[in-house]
């Protein structure tokens, strides 16, 4: 979530048709999200010529517990070697395959305001296999402009352009009022996966997948925690470690950083 979620129906791919091939395997949503993180870390390790990692190391780099990581990877079937660890490249390939990251996915961004323009110029997308292939806006003043190396088209052109470029994923970065319209157009153009930044629920057919990122809501959650702290002033000076980071000297690979982020555990409210 922080995310959206479905309202009704027991849902979930009925997946009856399983012909010949490897045994089917059901992967929890939460695990899929983390796969993306592991993949990124593995890419970096690979670039650093690291050949194998232990669950402990990989977990530290990804910011999760090692038990969770092993459990996650177990959904891929056996990929590690006991007593040794995981072969970086092998695991990476396996993950890429599972995530469908073997080929690049063309991305279309609708709404070239502040956010949309930033996304168009955001290198992180292209680097990870998601080139922004097309930009759309309803404002004629913006149409034709070159943003982040891509020309802005009018939304009316959406369907043909998306078709031609083979767009797989749509990003809605319009104001809230136009979000549903943008979404409808994407759906009509055959796009079946949508990432939206508009803070409104989008109505889509069952076959379309939507993920919502609500930035202001994120801040609001943080705000809640600030407020919590202000109310209850430091329950006690941290019992143990005064400075979080200490661990062993960095071994070889990149940062040994470990997330000390507080997340679980419900909170008391006055």
Partner DNA sequence: AAGTGTGAACAGCTTCACAGCC
Partner DNA sequence: GGCTGTGAAGCTGTTCACACTT
Comparing CA positions, the residue from 172, 173, 103, 105 lying closest to residue 133 is 105
Region near DNA per CB under 7 A, out of 62-70, 155-163, 170-178, 228-236: 62-70
Query: From CA 149, how far away is CA 142, in angstroms rounded?
Result: 14
CA angle 263, 269, 270 (to 5 degrees): 160
* Under 8 Å between Cβ of 89 and 46: yes
Q: Is the CA virtual torsion 184, 189, 194, 198 positive or negative?
A: negative
Binding characters for DNA, 13-52, by CB under 7 A (x = yes): ---------------xxxx---------------------
Among its own copies, DNA, none, the one that 267 touches (CB under a kind-dependent 5 to 8 A) is its own copies
Query: From CA 125, how far away is CA 239, in angstroms rounded?
Result: 41
Q: Find where tokens 């803070």 sit.
A: 199
Binding characters for its own copies, 124-143, by CB under 8 A (x = yes): xx-xxxx-------------
- Pick the closer one to its own copies by CB: 83 or 214: 214
Q: Which residue from 35, 45, 55, 143 is in contact with DNA, where contact means CB under 7 A?
A: 55
Count of residues in contact with DNA, rule CB under 7 A:
34
- Pick the closer one to DNA by CB: 83 or 205: 83
Q: Which residue from 6, 25, 225, 228 is in contact with DNA, where contact means CB under 7 A?
A: 6
Among DNA, its own copies, none, the one that 51 touches (CB under a kind-dependent 5 to 8 A) is none
116 SS3 class: helix
Q: Mapped to the 3 state alphabet, what secondary structure does 119-175 carry?
A: HHHCHHHHHCCCCEEEEEECCCCCCCCEECCEEEEEHHHHHHHHHHHCEEEEEECCC
Q: Which residue from 54, 98, 106, 178 is in contact with DNA, where contact means CB under 7 A?
A: 54
Q: Is 250 in the site for its own copies (CB under 8 A)?
A: no
- Pick the closer one to DNA by CB: 151 or 223: 223
The H or E element spanning position 194 is: strand 193-196
* Under 8 Å between Cβ of 200 and 137: no
- Give the footprint of DNA on residues 72-101 (CB under 7 A): 73-74, 78-86
Region near its own copies per CB under 8 A, out of 79-87, 118-126, 136-144, 156-164: 118-126
- Give the footprint of its own copies on residues 171-190 (CB under 8 A): 180
End-to-end CA distance of the chain: 25
Structure tokens at 9: 């129906």
Q: Which residue from 42, 53, 109, 119 is in contact with its own copies, where contact means CB under 8 A?
A: 119
Residues that bind DNA (CB under 7 A): 5-6, 8, 10, 12, 28-31, 53-56, 64-68, 70-71, 73-74, 78-86, 264-266
């Amino acid at each position: 979530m922080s995310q959206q979620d479905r309202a009704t129906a027991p849902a979930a791919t009925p997946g009856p048709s399983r012909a010949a091939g490897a045994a089917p395997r059901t992967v929890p949503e939460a695990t899929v999200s983390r796969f993306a993180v592991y993949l990124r870390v593995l890419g970096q390790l690979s670039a650093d010529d690291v050949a194998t990692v232990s669950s402990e190391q990989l977990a530290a780099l990804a910011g999760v517990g090692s038990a969770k990581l092993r459990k996650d990877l177990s959904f891929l079937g056996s990929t590690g070697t006991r007593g040794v660890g995981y072969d970086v490249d092998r695991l990476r390939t396996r993950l890429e395959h599972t995530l469908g990251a073997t080929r690049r996915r063309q991305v279309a961004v609708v709404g070239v305001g502040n956010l949309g323009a930033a996304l168009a110029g955001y290198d992180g997308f292209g680097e990870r296999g998601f080139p922004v292939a097309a930009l759309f806006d309803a404002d004629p003043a913006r149409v034709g402009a070159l943003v982040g190396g891509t020309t802005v088209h009018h939304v009316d052109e959406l369907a043909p352009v998306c078709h031609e470029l083979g767009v797989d994923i749509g990003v809605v970065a319009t104001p809230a009022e136009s979000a549903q319209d943008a979404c409808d157009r994407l759906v009509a153009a055959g796009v079946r996966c949508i990432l939206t930044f508009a803070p409104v629920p989008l109505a889509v057919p069952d076959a379309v997948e939507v993920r919502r990122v609500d930035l202001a809501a994120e801040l609001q959650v943080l705000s809640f925690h600030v407020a919590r702290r202000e109310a209850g002033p430091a329950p006690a000076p941290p019992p143990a470690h005064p400075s979080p980071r200490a661990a062993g000297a960095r071994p070889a690979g990149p940062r040994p950083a470990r997330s000390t982020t507080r997340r679980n555990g419900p909170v008391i409210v006055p």
